Amino acid sequence: MSVFRQLASSSVLRSPAAGTVALRLLSTTSLPSFENVKVETSGTEGRVGVVTLNRPKALNALSSALMQDVVMALRHFDRDPSVGCIVLTGNEKAFAAGADIREIKACAARLFRVKPFP
C-alpha cells in the first residue's frame, strides 16, 4: 500500500473550537511495499525505520524508479510519529553503484535525438 493511499485512508480530526486540522497517521504495522526498496522497523521499540536499497542485479544503481521509492519510503517514516530515526542502507552486495547508466543512455538518446551508445 502506498504512502498516499495510507494518508488518504487515515482520518482527519477537526477541532471546531480552535479551527485547526490535524492528520492522524497510520502506524508502521502496515508498512508499504516498494519494487526497489525494502522497508522495516527495527530497534527495541520499533522506533528505527530501515530503508534498504534492493536492486541486487544492478548493484543498487540509482534509477529514477529506485529514487522515487526511496523518497516515498523516507516520507513514510518521516511522517510516522513512532519512528525516531531513519537508516538508509544497501543490500549485502553494495550500497549503490552510482547512477543507472542504462537509464542515462536512454535519456541522452531522447534528448539529443541520436541512437543510443553501443
Kindly report the CATH number assigned to the domain that includes residue 67: 3.90.226.10
Instruction: State the chain's mean pLDDT as an integer.
Output: 78
Share of the chain above pLDDT 90, in %: 54
Q: What is the pLDDT of residue 112?
A: 78
Least confident of 24-38, 59-73, 97-111: 24-38
In a domain, 42, yes or no: yes
pLDDT of 8? 41
117 falls within a domain: no
> 44 or 110: which carries more pLDDT confidence?
44
- Alpha-carbon distance values, 67 to 14, 80, 100, 102, 117 (Å): 35, 20, 11, 15, 24
Domain count, the chain: 1
Please, which pLDDT band fits residue 111 given cuts at 50, 70 and 90?
confident
Are 53 and 66 a contacting pair, CB within 8 Å? yes
The whole-number average pLDDT for the span 91-104 is 90
